Each structure stands twice: as C-alpha cells, then as structure tokens.
Structure 1
Amino acid sequence: MWLPIPPDEIEGLPEGPSYRFWDGAEDYPADPADCAFYVVPYMKPSPLCVRPLPRMSSLRVVQTLSAGIDHVEPGLKDLPAGVLLCNARGVHEASTAELTLTLILASLRGVPDFVRAQERGEWLGGFRPALADKNVLIVGYGSIGAAIEDRLVPFEVARVARVARSGRTTERGPVHPLTELPALLPEADVVVLSTPLTETTRGLVDADFLARMKDGALLVNVARGPVVDTEALLVEAEKGRIAAALDVTDPEPLPPGHPLWQAPGVLISPHAGGPTSAFRPRAKRLLTDQLRRFVNQEPLRNVMLTTGMSGA
C-alpha cells in the first residue's frame, strides 16, 4: 500500500498490509509491481502522479485525495482491467465551500480594493453589492455544490439555481440538466463553477456562455481551470462587463506576467480550496476506512470508475 502520508501518522490502519510512504519522490519506496493500493500524492502535477502506474501490474485500487480525478485519468490506459478509481468525496466539501463564499463576498464587497487602499493609507468608502437578494447559479451540483448551497442559505440570497450533467429533484428543489444552462445564465448575478473536468465540461465557459451572463455578474471558478476559456474570459473582463473570482486557472500555476493577474475585476487565489487544516484529519479518516474495507473485502466508497469497463 503506497500512502502520501507517513503510515505512522495515521491511526487505525488495518494490520496485515505492508505500508510504504511515497509523496512523489524520484525514488520509489518499493517495487511498483507489488503495489495493490495506490493513494495518489496530493496537489502534485499529473505527470508525477501517473508516473508509477505503468509498472503497477498488481494494482487493484487507485485512491485520490482530491475530489477531481482528471489528473490521474491519463494513466488509466496503462493499468490492468478491473482496477477501481476512487475519489475523496467527503474530504474537501467544507473547505472548498468556505473558500467559495469567501471569494464571492470578497469580490462583491470589494475587499481587494480595500487592501490596496489600506496600503496607500486611503479611506475608500462607497456602496458595494451585497450577496443578499442575489440570484446564484451553481454549475456542478455534486457534494461540493450542495455544500456551497448549505453556506449560501444564511446569506438570504433570492434564489439558488442548480445545474448538473443530468436533471433530478432534491429536497431543496430541482437540479437542471446542462441543456437548460443557456436559459438560466441571464438570470444569475453570481455563477459558481463546481463541476468536474470532463470532455463535456472542458471549455464549457466559452464566449457564448459568458455573453449570456448579465452585465455586472460574477463568475466564480472552484472547479478546474480548463472549464473556463481563459481568452474568452479576458475579453469580457477587459470590457469590465463581468467580474471573476478564480481559485483555479488555465494555465496553472498562472505564470508571472499573465494578463489574468492584472485583468480588471478579477480576484485570484492559488488553488486554495482544498489544502486547509481540515484536509489532513479528513484524509486520514478516509484512508483508514477505505483500507479497512479493502482488507475486509468490503465495497469501497467513492468508486468513480473501473478500468476495462465501458467509458473507463
């Protein structure tokens, strides 16, 4: 079992398996061919994460510590059939939802302007938009999208509209399919992206998507950078027609001198949604539970796909 957290720091690991610590170092901790359960290093580049996969001939489980799995999907073709790919549902919802609300409030209330004014010693008064009474559209209504809505409720928003790949009904109301997105965009004051990165969502926020957003609307991306067409966003931001708060960008990390850094009305955080003090204890709980299930031959949680199956 390869873990990106030292095994002696994780209480409750089941006895029996041999645990090895690997967080992306150049040298492997053991022969990859003997690894049965691979926990992918967290917040590391995709090429590093998939590097050992071609040699993992005995692999049965790939476990990410992120909600997204796009960074390991390129390596799945090198795996034998029947390998389970599991994500970290339950680990990042609270932290990502916290940051989403932070970005929304900071952008609407002009906190970046206040910080810059403070550095100049300037008292910057005036009226600012409030989150109260706004219409919010959440694009990508999985566990993170639902956690975002949980935190929106106390802010007295006028309405929350929800969009996912397919429509369904929840206790809070309908989830609209992606096909209804064009009709919902013009009504939204705040559009939150929390969708996985797939072939369907890559470039979803293109020039047409942005053109449908109302003047003065705020786009918040806590999903993946490539969900947004950066050039199309820059065009709208330079016009000053919409604002944006981005925890993820394309490219990422955003290089020095990139025009997004200086685009008017754009607030950028450095992919800070998941890595908080809440991450490590929740990640450890997930790993101990998954490994216990694996050792006891019980069904694993958060299975996203199985290699060799249709669509994998």
Structure 2
Amino acid sequence: MSADVWLPIPPDEIEDLPEGFAYHFWDGAGELPADPADCVFYAVPYMRPGEACVRPLPDMSASLRVVQTLTAGTDHVEPALRRLPSGVVLCNARGVHEASTAELALTLILASLRGIPGFVRAQDRGEWQGGFRPALTDKSVLIVGYGSIGAAIEDRLAPFELARVARVARSGRTTARGPVHPLTDLPSLLPEADVVVLSTPLTESTRGLVDAGFLARMKDGALLVNVARGPVVDTKALLTELESGRLTAALDVTDPEPLPPEHPLWRAPGVLITPHVGGPTSAFLPRAKRLLRDQLRRFVNREPLANVILTTGTARDAASS
C-alpha cells in the first residue's frame, strides 16, 4: 500500500516537496485521482463546496493522518471528521490569508465610508456628485475575532489616526497593542464603535452572534463589516436595520452563500457586497505552497504540525461536535 498525498495544487508546481510520498492532484472536481484508502495526508480543495471537499473522507478512514485546509475557517470539513477514527489531525491555513483578507477589510471600510459604490454608479450615468462623506480618521473601530486575521486588520488600520481600536475574542488577554476583551464585553463595547469588523471563525458560539440584539446595540450610523463567515450574522435582522437606514454594511460573506439573484440583501440600502473574495488573490498561491511544503516536511520528519485545530477522538473534537 502506498502513502499517498492529495494536493489541490499540481505537485510539480510546488518546489522541494519531501520524498517518500506518492503525490496526486485533485481540486475537488471530477473523478478521484487515486484510491482514497491509501491517502495519509489530504489537503482539502480550495474554493469548492463543502460537500465536494468532504466527498472522499469516508473512504480515507483506514490510513488518513492529516486533513489540511487552505482556508482559515474549518467549519466546512469539521462535521465529516466526526465519522473518522481517533488520531486524525485537522490543520487550517493560518498564515495564508491574513494579508489579503485584512487588505479587503480595509478596502470595504474605506469604500463604504467614502461612498465609492455611489460614485461608480454616478460615473455610469455621467454625473458629477460632490459633497462631504465620512472619513475613517477619528473613528472608533471594534474588531470582533482577534486572531491572526483580526491582528492583521489592526496592522492596516494603524496609519489612519483612529480615535480607538477595541478588540474582542472568545477569551480576554493582553497584547502589545492593548487589551483583548472577552465576548461577554460586547454589550458595553458596541455602542462606542463607528465601525464593527467581524473576523471571527464560525463556531457554535459565533453562529448567529450578530443578531437583532447585537445590531440594536450598535450606534446610529455605524458600519458593520463581515469578512468572517455569513452565518455569523442573522441576515433577517441585518436587513431590518439596513432597510430602516440606521446602519450600513459591507459584506464579503453572506448567509445564504452564494447570494441568490432575487435575495433582498442585494437591493438593501447602504450595503456593499463582494462575493467572498477575501482570500483568493495573487497572495494566495505562494503562501499556500509554502504552507503545504512546510507541513509535509513536518509530517515526514514526525515533527509537530502547525496550525492544529483539533485531533479526532480528543476532548477538543468532542466539544466541537
């Protein structure tokens, strides 16, 4: 039996892959490239539906040791791991998407505040529309989800002369930039924020986190930016606030996703929507290749893997189910 590695990037495009494996390319489309029972390291296809990503997993259970996503979030594969035997390690793509996602978050903030979508529509009509618009300068920003992406967003906010940046994560801690508040502090922090940025992973505790109560605590005229996952936000509750004109939003992710053409969110006032493009940029491939090469070297040398999210059959895995 061979020790197979499935990669969503052609192996000949990744330099210096470790020897000792049979490498197979599979991007989630078409027939499987080899017998799943021989796969020891499965790098999940990128930008494919969840059902495509997990399709071979049931037949990999005999040999599989590592599931490596090329996404920061792992919610699309975690449910399928519960049917695997103990000891399979799930790793995410920390270090791959921080730069591009933070770049998009800043783009969405600036475009929304400065009214860029309106200027584009006016340009299409040949209309010159001046006037005052809000600036990011002097605003208070609240980052909900202060992991590596949240920290990268703050890095890019630093030059903009903000009045304040507040940070929230699952549990509180202290960083060089200041305190990170626990989620329980959100009710007191939301009324102070001009911009609320969501960069939290999708878990059972964050699903529907931004509900009617959360939105009601945001100040009048505040901007909600979501570069996390669509189900973190209650879409119906957000629509109510958008249609009232009290809040605005910039969304790279939605619930449902893809957003159907007839969905009212497309036509809601004060919303800017991008089609989940935080990660897929020119920055992706070099970082993804570097991550895969490094993880495979660790795996072949029996070194601890990076970015471990859970190991099946452990208390952490049970807690996520």
**TM-score relative to the length of structure 1:** 0.99
Tell me, what secondary structure is at the counterpart of 1:191? strand
Distance 2:185 2:38 in 1: 48
Distance 2:15 2:316 in 1: 36
Q: Which runs of 5 or more structure 2 residues have no equivalent in the other structure?
A: none
Query: Partner residue of 1:27?
Result: 31
Distance 1:78 1:28 in 2: 20
Query: Partner residue of 1:112?
Result: 117
- Which of 28, 33, 40 is 1:36 aligned to? 40
Listed one character per residue, the Cα deviations across residues 190-218 of structure 1 (whole Å, up to 9, x for unaligned) are: 00000000000000000000000000000
Query: Partner residue of 2:206?
Result: 201
Tell me, what secondary structure is at the counterpart of 2:314? coil
Query: Partner residue of 2:308?
Result: 303
2:190 maps to 1:213: no
Tell me, what secondary structure is at the counterpart of 2:288? helix
Q: Which runs of 5 or more structure 1 residues have no equivalent in the other structure?
A: none
Query: Partner residue of 1:101?
Result: 106
Distance 1:112 1:25 in 2: 35
Amino-acid identity (%): 82
Distance 2:91 2:316 in 1: 15
Aligned-pair CA distance for 1:157: 0.8
2:182 maps to 1:177: yes
**TM-score relative to the length of structure 2:** 0.97
Tell me, what secondary structure is at the counterpart of 1:105? helix
Listed one character per residue, the Cα deviations across residues 196-242 of structure 1 (whole Å, up to 9, x for unaligned) are: 00000000000000000000000000000000000000000000000
Distance 2:111 2:16 in 1: 40
Tell me, what secondary structure is at the counterpart of 2:22? coil
Distance 2:191 2:84 in 1: 44
Listed one character per residue, the Cα deviations across residues 265-309 of structure 1 (whole Å, up to 9, x for unaligned) are: 000000010000000010000000000110111111000100000
Tell me, what secondary structure is at the counterpart of 1:37? strand
CA contact (8 A) 1:139 1:162 kept: yes
CA contact (8 A) 1:50 1:74 kept: no
2:132 maps to 1:134: no
CA contact (8 A) 1:93 1:147 kept: yes
Aligned-pair CA distance for 1:310: 1.1
Tell me, what secondary structure is at the counterpart of 2:186? helix
Distance 2:253 2:29 in 1: 25
Stretches (4+) displaced over 2 A: none
2:26 maps to 1:14: no
Aligned-pair CA distance for 1:12: 1.1
Tell me, what secondary structure is at the counterpart of 1:78? coil
2:249 maps to 1:238: no
Distance 1:26 1:8 in 2: 20
Q: How many residues align?
A: 312
Aligned-pair CA distance for 1:25: 2.2
- State how 1:263-282 maps to structure 2 within 5 Å: 263-282=268-287
Query: Partner residue of 2:83?
Result: 78
Distance 1:95 1:26 in 2: 29
Distance 1:12 1:273 in 2: 28
Tell me, what secondary structure is at the counterpart of 1:59? coil
